[in-house]
Every structure is written in C-alpha cells, then in structure tokens.
Amino acid sequence: MSAQTAPSDGSPQPAARTTPLVEVHRELGGTLVDFAGYLMPLRYGSETAEHHAVRASAGIFDISHMGEIFVTGSQAPQALDHALVGLPSGLDPGRARYTMIVTPDGGVIDDLIVYRLSGHGFLVVANAANAAVVAAELTERAAGFDAVVSDESDKYALIAVQGPKAQEIVQRLTQTDLPALKYYALVSGVVAGHQAFIGRTGYTGEDGFELFVAAEDAEPVWRALTEAGGADLTPCGLSARDTLRLEAGMPLYGHELTRDTTPYDAGLGRVVRLEKPDFVGREALAAIAEAGPAHRLVGLVARGRRVPRAGYTVIGDDGEPCGTVTSGAPSPTLGRPVAMASVRVDARPAAVDIRGKHEEVDVVDLPFYHREHRPAGGADQVSAHQNKRTNK
C-alpha cells in the first residue's frame, strides 16, 4: 500500500513509493508519512527517546529512499571531476568524499557522497528528491567521456546504524574488520549472510555505518541487526534523524542548500576544488570565492523556550531583518531550541521574529554538538565550545 494525497487543484498526486522495509515499519507501529515521494517512518514512538538512543547507544534507520548512482568506465574519474565541484579522481579505492553538483551559476543542485569502488568505478549517493535529476545531470555531463551512468536506486536498500555502540552491534554480524575501516571509507563484505557495501558514514554526528544491500535482502538484514542489537539498538524515524543532523550542524537539501545558494553561502566552500581547470560552475564559483559570498550560515541558540523554525526572519542587533532561519528545532541533547540561519555576512544576529515577537538568540559556532564534547551534566549542560558566542 502507498499514500496518495490530493493537490490544491483536486487532481490526485502520484502515490508515494515504498521502501523494501515498509512492512517492517508497519509491524513496529511507525508513523508513516510521504517524504520526498517515499512513504517513510516519521517516528515509532517518542522521537526524543529515539534521538537520545542514538546519542547514548545506537539507532537503526531505513534510508532506502536515497539514490544510488553508479559511474563506470575508463574515464569515469575525469567525467566526475568535470561534473562535480570536488575531485573524485583523487580518491583511493575504498574511500569516500562529500561533494556537490551545481548549476553553471553555482547554485547547489544536490549535495552528494561519492565512493570510489575500484580504479574506474564510483558510487554516487544522492538525496531522494534529487536522485533522478542528479542521474540525468551526470549522464549529460559525462557525454564525451568513456563513462556510463546507471541509476540503480531501485535495486538497493540502505540501512544506517548510528551511535556509540554501532560498531559493536554490526561487528556481531560480519567478519569484516570494522575497527580498521576508516571514517568516510567503504568496503565490500557480508552482513548477516548477505552481500553488502559497508560504509563508515552517517548523518547523525555519531560514529556508525551505512549498509548498502540488495533490496530483497533488506528485511532479513534489518531483522538480524535488531536481534543482534537487542535493547541497545532502537528503530529511529525521520524526526530523530533531523534533530540529530541539526545538532551536528549538517546541512539538509531544501533548507541550508538550494539552487539559490552556493557552497560558499553555506560555509562549505572547502569542498570546491578551484584548482581544477574546468568543471560545471567553476567560473561562477571562482568569482564568488574572490569577491566573497553575500550570506553566511550561522548557529543560533535561543535564550528562551520558543523555537526558531525554518522560514522565520532573523533580526540583527540594529533591529532590522538580516536573514532567515533555514532549520530549527528543540535540541534534545542541549535542552534548548537551536537553529541554523542564513544571514548577511555583515550582520550581527540578535533575535528571531517568532510570530511577531523578537526572541533573543546567541550566535554560536557550528556544530552545536560533537561527540568529542558529549555533555556529561544533563540536558541543560552545553560545552564551552557549543556555547561560544561568535557575534561576527
């Protein structure tokens, strides 16, 4: 079964797609919602409890809505160097890199993780809503290279196990030497008797793994993981995933990143490799790098309890609007509302307009949370790093 909603003109929308784990989510009592065209679990019970489980032990997520796009051929490295802002050709086999694909004027089409599988083989992981667009763009940009782009998203399921106990749990089901697997690395292995790509990557701010398995293997692998994890492994939905990535200062496409923003606007200019002689968007990005972006991404911590939500206006210390909140939520780890916001580079944010009232905020360094600075004194304790006011 799948969800179907009616748009404002009264005509039916296409039914939301399901992942290979949809029946598992129903068994677990998950609240299913249409997200990026997929029926996905928002939560199973308490989203706050799910969030804390990942910070304290481990959580398991279905992220099979993400796109898996393979690029192969003798000139696949050069094709990706041309198509993306990064330098995939510089990756060693088994390593991964965060990068982006941009428009000719530098706007972000999507942020990606690129894994090098072999000398000439790559796996590009795209966000669900953008997978088809990314595959089409890569195909067009690879024309003229000896490279083949293949969108194999429907053939794969993707399961994430994240948290301090993630390694211990996954290791029970594989002979792969997980302690030897570096961060942002990938290895082919067997998990619970099923072939998998095991990546030491994630979107929570915790250590963990993302397991690429055949769609038909998703359910037995999930069940084996939950049995191996027992009380230490909690099924988690989209709500917990969002608050976890927000605390970790990780951007979300459609919020911190859009076609109207560049990597430099989001404070991610470090992923742009301008030393490459040519790639799509290079001229525009080089000009922005030289002149400086018009906006910057900042972290905000509310002094009160009202939450600065996405779309709310940020107010400068001169009392005038200076930007917009891109993501905001109560932080279960810090015990107070936090937000990321895009503001003018010359602005000094002081408040957020929340339904007509200016609620005071502090500007802090991102990320709000880092596992090396895990609070030890309860939810209201914020480390000196997390609460450092920048006000720049």
Amino acid identity of residue 123, one-letter, is: L
Orientation angle between helical segments 238-247 and 47-56, nearest 10 degrees:
50
Q: Which residues of 139-172 are buried (b: 16+ CB within 10 A; e: fewer)?
A: bebbeebebebebebeebbbbbbbbbbbbebbee
Token pair recorded at residue 389: 């006011």
Q: What angle do CA 91, 96, 98 make, to 5 degrees?
A: 105
Question: pLDDT tens across 211-254, in order?
Answer: 999 999 999 999 999 999 999 999 999 999 999 999 999 999 99
Residue 342 has pLDDT above 50, yes or no: yes
Q: Which fold has domain 294-392?
A: Elongation Factor Tu (Ef-tu); domain 3 (2.40.30)
Amino acid identity of residue 363, one-letter, is: V
Give the count of beta carbons closer than 10 Å to the beta carbon of residue 57.
Answer: 18
Question: Model pTM?
Answer: 0.92
As a whole number, the mean pLDDT across the chain is 93
Question: pLDDT tens across 181-192, in order?
Answer: 999 999 999 999
Token pair recorded at residue 62: 């279905």
Going from N- to C-terminal start, the domains of the chain cover: 17-63+155-247, 294-392
Rounded distance, CA 240 to CA 99, Å? Answer: 24
- The number of C-alpha atoms within 13 Å of 177 and in the hemisphere containing its C-beta is 3
Which CA distances in Å does 312 have to 133, 215, 362?
Answer: 29, 40, 16
Question: pLDDT tens across 271-289, in order?
Answer: 999 999 999 999 999 999 9
The reply to whether 294-392 shares the fold of 17-63+155-247 is no
Question: pLDDT tens across 155-199, in order?
Answer: 999 999 999 999 999 999 999 999 999 999 999 999 999 999 999
Token pair recorded at residue 123: 């796996």
* Contact status, residue 140 vs residue 83, Cβ threshold 8 Å: no
Per-residue pLDDT, 11 = 54
Token pair recorded at residue 249: 């200062």
Question: pLDDT tens across 5-28, in order?
Answer: 334 455 556 789 999 999 999 999
Rounded distance, CA 252 to CA 258, Å? Answer: 9
Domain 17-63+155-247 CATH assignment equals 3.30.470.10: no
Q: Which long-range contacts (CB under 8 A, 24 or more apart) does 376-385 make?
A: 378/335, 379/332, 379/333, 379/334, 379/335, 380/334, 380/335, 380/336, 382/301, 382/334, 382/336
Which CA distances in Å does 261 have to 106, 125, 155, 215, 270?
Answer: 8, 21, 32, 34, 15
